[in-house]
Amino acid sequence: MARKYFGTDGIRGRVGEGPITAEFMLKLGWAAGQVLGCGRRNSVVIGKDTRISGYMFESALEAGLSASGVDIRLLGPMPTPAIAYLTRTLHACAGIVISASHNPHYDNGIKFFSAQGAKLPDEVEQAIEDALDQPIKTVDSSRLGKAERVVDARGRYIEYCKSTVPASLNLSGLKIVVDCANGATYHVAPNVLDELGADVVAIGVDPDGLNINHECGSTEPARLQALVREQQADLGIALDGDGDRLIMVDHMGELVDGDELLFIIARSRHQAGQLRGAVVGTLMSNLGLEVALREQAIPFVRAKVGDRYVMELLQQEGGVIGGESSGHIICLDRTTTGDGIISALQVLAEMMQSGRSLHELKQGMRKYPMHMINVPVSSRVDLGTVALVQEAVKAAEARMQGRGRVLLRPSGTEPVVRVMVEGEDDVLVREQVAVLAAVVASSF
């Protein structure tokens, strides 16, 4: 059944426009309380990032949950993966995240975690949507939910992050610039690195409710790159607004993206004999990642774009390491969801264990030239039924002679077809992506 509100990553939109309104959040809190079946002895935790609308939605969700008879534990500003962790360790029946991740401050959204710290199954999200169609019925006053603030949430999560690397790990001698995107990691990530001994230079740690992800963080790392060079730092770490994505910068100021980080972590686990199952990337993962893992005899499979699909394929394959080029990396042998801080710590642990710089570690993977053109279309299209397009794809693949890859993918969020070609020869890649884009444009 098609869902009205939930997408692949919760509910998201512009603040003040349906469904991202205070009225809807009140009803959503009540509906979630009805479906999740929590009682006084098993509460729901709520955390948020630093955008200003979080105050409004936190209060609305709290009121709705209370009306359904559910107790609430408020975490305040905390990274999304921290909320997943605290949902488990506080033995809550569910966790709610108020965040729009890497989006600007004028967007916001809601994600849910199960009692196990995983995203809710489709059928539970559907049940919540069904409950939203029912009128709110407030429980008797004697059964209303109570709310309390968890005062040690930050300290709990900092200790957990540190526990995901060897206790002997000492980052003394490393100078690290960390950009927290004026988001939910601003009071966590610098402390984690400092407590492990690093010399920390922190930026993006002055949230004002409006500057989250603005010219900073993993989506805009230019300032971080410049500062790493200026400070002569060993590396830089860029997180996004809710802390589930990671991009790094080596000592030369060069970006190290999600594909390269995935390779470094997977190779480290493989060499330590700790890698299980296949490494999972997505349809957009660089071909160089696939080739580099093959050279290490590490199996690699591709999921649809989206961390939800990466997680599903990891579970099917019995794997523990997966991620996206954007830097959303999942280490299931350390945590239950994508976590920027924990992923960064795995890379730092490999640097210290191997004695190699981040720049040296990324050399194990050579990124192939990749070019993409977004072709506007008037409606959703089934590319597999258009003979002219399929013939053009086969011709392009023949030109690549097995040393490249072609991908045509209708966007799930925009009226465009994404035409992507990658391969060893940059000139040939540019030529073929232009040819394919022209064919797609003329076919719709």
Catalytic center residues:
101
Instruction: State how far the Cα of 202 lies from the Cα of 216, in Å rounded to an integer.
Output: 12
The DSSP bridge partners found for residue 329 are: 323
CA angle 274, 277, 280 (to 5 degrees): 110
**Whether the Cβ atoms of residue 163 and residue 331 lie closer than 8 Å to each other:** no
Backbone angles phi, psi at 47, to 5 degrees: -130, 170
Residue type, 228: V
Block residue for tokens 């409710």:
209
**Whether the Cβ atoms of residue 145 and residue 33 lie closer than 8 Å to each other:** yes
Backbone angles phi, psi at 146, to 5 degrees: -105, 155
Backbone angles phi, psi at 422, to 5 degrees: -140, 155
CA dist 208 → 51, 128, 184, 185 (Å): 8, 33, 12, 14
Backbone angles phi, psi at 158, to 5 degrees: -60, -45
DSSP letters for 252-282: TS-EE-HHHHHHHHHHHHHHTT---S-EEEE
Q: What HEC string does 154-218 produce? A: HHHHHHHHHHCCCCCCCCCCCEEEEECCCCCCCCCHHHHHHHCCCEEEEECCCCCCCCCCCCCCC
